[in-house]
Amino acid sequence: MFRATVLTLFPEMFPGPLGLSLAGDALARGVWALEARQIREHGLGRHRAVDDTPAGGGAGMVMRADVLAAALDAAAPPDDPRPRLLTSPRGRPLTQARVRALAGGPGAIILCARFEGVDERVIEARNLEEVSIGDYILSGGEIAALALLDACVRLQPGVMGADASGVEESFETGLLEYPHYTRPRSFEGFETPDVLLSGDHAKIAKWRHEQALALTRARRPDLMDFIAGKETKRLL
């Protein structure tokens, strides 16, 4: 079973949206498990301090290495096989390939950063993998953790209604997903493409692939460079 442990200053943010829809139903059925732990339980002094001023000066506060190490150690023993993740804007971008790898494992321990960040020493001492969900700054790592977990949970067996649901989505093949249509056939002067109503599955597959290529070229040319590189390596 996929088990997620989230270390946060705001455990009340969980399960949040993960308690609804497919993820929430799967959580209620025991397909996956979620534990949100309060970092401040390991804080120092009467006020349970978790941060301090940055060495060398500068604005803001930094989360303390000793506090975070204590929180991590209490959440999981050293032999816990789950990867330890730190939500961070400087981390490697989260990809669908990484999501699939995480989803196929025993779960994850996710540390949600706040303030200016965390003491570098705890990242090294506890072997934290920094993960980013995009090139922008959030108030804290909780929203990133929710996004990461949603991406992983939906891939758990029995969560999505059909196994094929996750196979042809954006990024699974390296391309953005092709356009979708349903009823009515005509909507405010826009028509459903005839090929989708032809019943010719080969032509439909070809049309969808062409549309995916066109969308990817227009919106994410960086993905086209990546796909071309993979194809070149395959031919070598």
Q: What is the pLDDT of residues 184-207, one digit of tens each?
A: 999 999 999 999 999 999 999 999
Q: What pLDDT score was predicted for residue 201?
A: 97
Question: Minimal CA–CA distance to 131: which of 106, 162, 101?
Answer: 101
Q: What is the DSSP letter of 137?
A: -
pLDDT higher than threshold 70 for residue 89? yes
pLDDT, averaged across the chain: 93
List the beta bridge partners of residue 112: 87
List the beta bridge partners of residue 51: 63
Per DSSP (E only), the strands in the chain are 2-8, 32-38, 51-52, 62-63, 84-93, 107-112, 129-132, 186-187, 190-191
pLDDT higher than threshold 70 for residue 235? no
Interval 90-101 mean pLDDT: 97
| Domains, the chain, ordered by start | 2-153 (3.40.1280.10), 168-235 (1.10.1270.20)
- DSSP SS3 for 171: coil
Angle at 97 between CA 214 and CA 144, to 5 degrees: 100
Distance between CA 209 and CA 178 in Å, rounded?
A: 7
Q: What pLDDT score was predicted for residue 165?
A: 54
Q: Give the DSSP per-residue string, 172-223.
A: TSSSPPPP---S-SEETTEE--GGGGS--HHHHHHHHHHHHHHHHHHH-HHH
Q: What pLDDT score was predicted for residue 161?
A: 74
Residues 6+ apart with CB under 8 A from 96: 151, 171, 172
Distance between CA 78 and CA 74 in Å, rounded?
A: 10
Token pair 């009340």 is found at 12
Confidence tier at 214 by pLDDT (50, 70, 90): very high
Distance between CA 17 and CA 134 in Å, rounded?
A: 20
pLDDT higher than threshold 60 for residue 166? no
Confidence tier at 174 by pLDDT (50, 70, 90): confident
Distance between CA 160 and CA 171 in Å, rounded?
A: 17
Question: Minimal CA–CA distance to 56: which of 139, 119, 98?
Answer: 119
pLDDT higher than threshold 90 for residue 230? no
Interval 34-52 mean pLDDT: 98
List the beta bridge partners of residue 3: 33, 107
Question: Minimal CA–CA distance to 65: which of 78, 56, 55?
Answer: 55
